[in-house]
Amino acid sequence: MKFHVMTLFPEMIEQGFHSSITGRAMEKGLLQLDAVNIRDYAVNKHMRVDDYPYGGGAGMVMQAEPVYRCYEAVKEKIGRDVRVIYLTPQGRVFNQKMAEEFAAEEDLIFLCGHYEGIDERVLEEIVTDPVSIGDYVLTGGELPSLVMMDAISRLVPGVLGNDMSAVGESFADSLLEYPQYSRPAVWREKEVPEVLLSGHHANVDAWRREQSVIRTAKWRPDLLETAQLTKKERILAEKILASEGEL
């Protein structure tokens, strides 16, 4: 997977991506990053890339031409048309299913805006996927693009230590993850649930599944609509929902 990021803050993208698991995956050659500075494609000697909005109003707007020239340069390097993700609070809200879909691509271009946005005409020309990471407003698209690249990267084969870790976790089947415990068995008088020390794998699996159902009912009841539950699990979830209502 190769990520091409068009941004006014390439160092921010590089710093964020070179750390931790994604950094190691880059060293292994599983992931590649090309952070491109839109300012390098400015069309005036002052290297300005923003101007006042037509019609007035607060803030500045990123101009169409530097963004377009930057895009052309990136596309030239890739050698074919690829999806262009524009990070904007007005986009489709990012989720795990979208991460899986993007992870199947060979190359992805991310366009990070700043100020009050980007001239609409260049967006119409190049953007294929406007994406938001949630209903709140950030100062720019850099953090959202790092969030998306992280979620996509861990789905690329080999990026996580063992290939199993990416499956059977939160949202894969619309249920939250079960709680995890490690040594010591007693910490500040709090004990690890006994079943986990039993060595009885079927009982462990059943307990974990039940914990997932309970957690989802308590914390994310909206997910229960799409979750595939057995009749017994439905009843358990209903019971939790009813008792949560009493609190």
Contact 6, 110 (CB under 8 A): yes
Contacts of 107 (CB under 8 A, 6+ apart): 1, 2, 3, 4, 78, 82
CB closer to ligand 6GU, 6 vs 227? 6
Does position 6 interact with ligand 6GU (CB under 6 A)? The reply is: no
Out of 14, 140, 209, 223, the only residue in the binding site for ligand 6GU (CB under 6 A) is 140
Contact 227, 174 (CB under 8 A): yes
CB closer to ligand 6GU, 37 vs 132? 132
Q: Which of 223, 217, 219, 221 is nearest to 239 (CA)?
A: 217
Out of 144, 208, 217, 233, the only residue in the binding site for ligand 6GU (CB under 6 A) is 144
Scanning 69-77, 126-134, 176-184, 229-237 for contacts with ligand 6GU by CB under 6 A, the matching segment is: 126-134
Distances, alpha carbon 232 to alpha carbons 218, 235, 246, in Å: 17, 5, 22
Does position 117 interact with ligand 6GU (CB under 6 A)? The reply is: no
Distances, alpha carbon 40 to alpha carbons 49, 63, 69, 83, 194, in Å: 9, 13, 9, 22, 60
Does position 89 interact with ligand 6GU (CB under 6 A)? The reply is: yes
In the complex, what is the shortest distance from the CB of residue 88 to ligand 6GU, in angstroms, rounded to a whole number?
A: 5
Give the separation between CA 87 and CA 143, rounded to whole angstroms: 9
Does position 7 interact with ligand 6GU (CB under 6 A)? The reply is: no
Give the separation between CA 46 and CA 7, rounded to whole angstroms: 18
CB closer to ligand 6GU, 132 vs 174? 132
Contacts of ligand 6GU in 179-218 (CB under 6 A):
none
Does position 137 interact with ligand 6GU (CB under 6 A)? The reply is: yes
Does position 53 interact with ligand 6GU (CB under 6 A)? The reply is: no
Give the separation between CA 146 and CA 206, rounded to whole angstroms: 36
Residues within the interface to ligand 6GU (CB under 6 A): 87-89, 132-134, 136-138, 140-141, 144
